[in-house]
Amino acid sequence: MAYYENFSTSLPLAVAQYGVRNALRPFLRKKDASFVVIMVAPSSQPMWFYEHAAAHILLPGTEALREDGSETVIITSTSEIASKSARAIASKFRNARRSVILCGNADEITADLRLLADAVAFIPTPTAAHYLMAAKLVGLPRVTKGAAEFLSSQSFEDVQLAFRSGQPFSRSLQRLKLKARGAVKATPPRPLSTGEVRLEDLAGYGEAKEWGLQLAADLTAWQRGEIRWEDLDRGALLLGPPGCGKTTYAGALAKSCGAELVITSAARWQAKGHLGDYIKAMRESFGQAKAKQPAILFIDEFDSVGDREAHPNSDHADYKRQAINALLECLDPSEGREGVVVIGAANNASVVDRALLRPGRLERVIPIDLPDAEARVKIFRRHAGDIDGIEGCEQFFVATNGWSGAELEKLARDARRLSRQRGAAVTLQDVIDALPPLLRLSESERLRLAVHEAGHALVGALLRPGQLDHVYVMDQVPPGGPRLPLGEAIFEDSSFRLPTERDFSDRIAILLGGIAAERVVLGDHSAGAGGQRESDLALATDFATMMECHYGFGNELIVDLGNGSRPLEVLRQGNPSLRKAVEARLREALAKAMSLLTSRRRELDTLTRLLLEFRIVPGEDVERLVR
């Protein structure tokens, strides 16, 4: 893999290499292909970066000169050869195998050069995505999307000057920002109080934010008389883990909508006493919202209302049925509930009565996931203010991986407390001191993790070519273990609308690729592949069960969906023959994965080495390994 062995530590050169490699990708797929490609580089960037990038890609592992002195690889520009005669150009490129001609404008390409070239390719202008991937590969700390977007707006030369080897990322980024601002530092914004936060200020809410902003626009149009109430979404169920910010979202939504916020919960209703008091409290909440219209009625712990179909023969079935019927009446009364949007919050939508989620009621189920790296920075800044260097602090990103917005708010409080003890403003060091200390994995743990994830990635690249986005591993974790996986092979979403038995079998083999790789390389596998609902073994077991019980891929065509919160597990517990069939499918998939990896042991070892060195490897490089 000469590409990695010769990868420069220069960040802008790494970005330039991405652009050049994307332009040359059709020609690089065949190892011995000969080509002449004219590449039009972005005029906003110095040409020499792209010339060096092309050299890093084409020269390693290649004899640049033949014994007669003729070049086998040519990297030049239109300005150097455009004035030459057709005969001179033909002579220069006669013996070359791989040639790149760079130019800053397509108008510089003469008729002779177009005749010579196999293709004209345009190198895209550097983007934030290019900087994010390049930063990971050159070993810089975790870079946020915001920092990457800023870098993509700067010249390669400025980035090269600012990011010297051995300098902290945050200091280099700050120097570059000061230059871009004309050395005038902006006044740090003060943290926003909860009552001031609008939906536009929130980070990390994805689909929920998009829906809320559209609702705000629709409510404004309704108030102006431009649309009817029937044209609005009148309710939604926010679905997410505790602390992910569902209540904060409701307050920000009301602020953006210019609506009153009425907060209640199913627990508050139930605490009023017997069934009659419960229903009375429920109706009072809706009445309060109606009196304050336009209003957002936020009902927390909505999943505790229950489902009439769950445990229909229990002693409490009639109580639950009457309570849900009353809630349905409040959500969809005969006189309507014009001016009131109802937002429910739940951790588990599967236990919510389906009638509550029908159109006109809570008609949308919107997930609120834990915030990603970029969102965590923005959430933290909302609570702590603008702290220099936070976007380049790797300890912050690793320690807070999997944290909720509530936990980030607590971190901001802890950092402010430390700063008060010093009698100074909050600094990055206060944040670091408030974070839990990171624990570095041992060499043996890092090796096993890299082998495991390399197995997933290679089996996936072989069975689902073109769908691997990237594979990564971590080398340090917070105390108590990570909230999210230590590593993962990330595949593009390719949900088959009509999956076949083979599609399911391949997916199971990919899930078991980590175990297979550990057994092939290390002789056994670790406990990391099981023990949790989202673990490799648990997911593979559920897929195998669905093949047997849901889709008729087993010995019987009978469909059995099971019941309860974990129906597939219930099916297996009560059916020994099903457990035996599922076990056979798992064994078959594991044998398939081990066979693939044994035959590709060399590639498995190479990918393991790359993960240990770089921690992240793009999917296209894994694909190139297995070709």
Where would I find the beta strands (DSSP E) of 573-625?
616-618
Mean pLDDT calculated for residue range 42-71: 70
Q: Are strands 98-103 and 73-77 parallel, antiparallel or unpaired?
A: parallel
pLDDT, residue 5, reads 36
Which architecture does CATH list for 194-367?
3-Layer(aba) Sandwich (3.40)
pLDDT band, very low/low/confident/very high, at 508 (cuts 50, 70, 90): very high
pLDDT, residue 609, reads 93
First to last CA, the chain: 13
Query: Residue 1: pLDDT above 70?
Result: no
What fold does the segment set 443-626 form as a domain? Methane Monooxygenase Hydroxylase; Chain G, domain 1 (1.20.58)
What gap in Å lies between CA 251 and CA 214, rounded to an integer? 16
- Per the CB < 8 A criterion, the answer to whether 128 and 149 are in contact is yes
pLDDT band, very low/low/confident/very high, at 516 (cuts 50, 70, 90): very high
pLDDT band, very low/low/confident/very high, at 164 (cuts 50, 70, 90): low
Which of 3-12, 189-198, 208-217, 256-265 bottoms out in mean pLDDT, i.e. has the lowest?
Answer: 3-12
Q: Which residues of 144-171 are buried (b: 16+ CB within 10 A; e: fewer)?
A: bbbbbebbbebebeebbebbeeeeebbe
Mean pLDDT calculated for residue range 560-571: 80
What gap in Å lies between CA 77 and CA 74, rounded to an integer? 10
What gap in Å lies between CA 451 and CA 499, rounded to an integer? 29
User: What backbone phi and psi angles, to 5 degrees, belong to 343?
Assistant: -120, 120
Query: Residue 165: pLDDT above 80?
Result: no
Which tokens is 474 given?
């971590």
Kindly state the percentage of the chain with pLDDT values over 90: 26
Query: Residue 250: pLDDT above 50?
Result: yes
HSE-CB of 327 using CA atoms within 13 angstroms:
31
Domains of the chain by residue range: 1-186, 194-367, 385-435, 443-626
pLDDT, residue 344, reads 92
**Mean pLDDT for the chain?**
83
pLDDT, residue 613, reads 87
pLDDT, residue 558, reads 86
What gap in Å lies between CA 454 and CA 473, rounded to an integer? 9
Q: How far is CA 126 from CA 11, 24, 172, 322, 556, in A?
A: 12, 16, 19, 60, 55
Query: Residue 181: pLDDT above 50?
Result: yes
Query: Residue 8: pLDDT above 50?
Result: no
Give 389-441 pLDDT, tens digit per residue: 887 787 888 888 888 888 898 999 999 999 999 888 889 999 999 998 888 88
What gap in Å lies between CA 518 and CA 141, rounded to an integer? 28
Domains 194-367 and 443-626 share a fold: no
Query: Residue 608: pLDDT above 90?
Result: yes
pLDDT band, very low/low/confident/very high, at 65 (cuts 50, 70, 90): very low
Q: How far is CA 173 from CA 20, 127, 140, 399, 434, in A?
A: 25, 17, 12, 21, 23
Which one-letter DSSP state was computed for residue 596?
H
Which tokens is 160 given?
């090269």
CATH 3.40.1130 fits 1-186, yes or no: no
Q: Map residue 118 onto helix, strand or coil.
A: coil
pLDDT, residue 187, reads 40
Query: Residue 327: pLDDT above 60?
Result: yes
pLDDT, residue 118, reads 84
pLDDT, residue 458, reads 97
Give 439-471 pLDDT, tens digit per residue: 888 999 999 999 999 999 999 999 999 889 899
Mean pLDDT calculated for residue range 334-342: 88
Give 76-121 pLDDT, tens digit per residue: 887 777 677 878 888 888 878 888 998 887 778 888 888 888 888 8
pLDDT, residue 360, reads 84
Which of 109-113, 144-148, 192-196, 549-553 bottoms out in mean pLDDT, i.e. has the lowest?
Answer: 192-196
- Per the CB < 8 A criterion, the answer to whether 458 and 627 are in contact is no
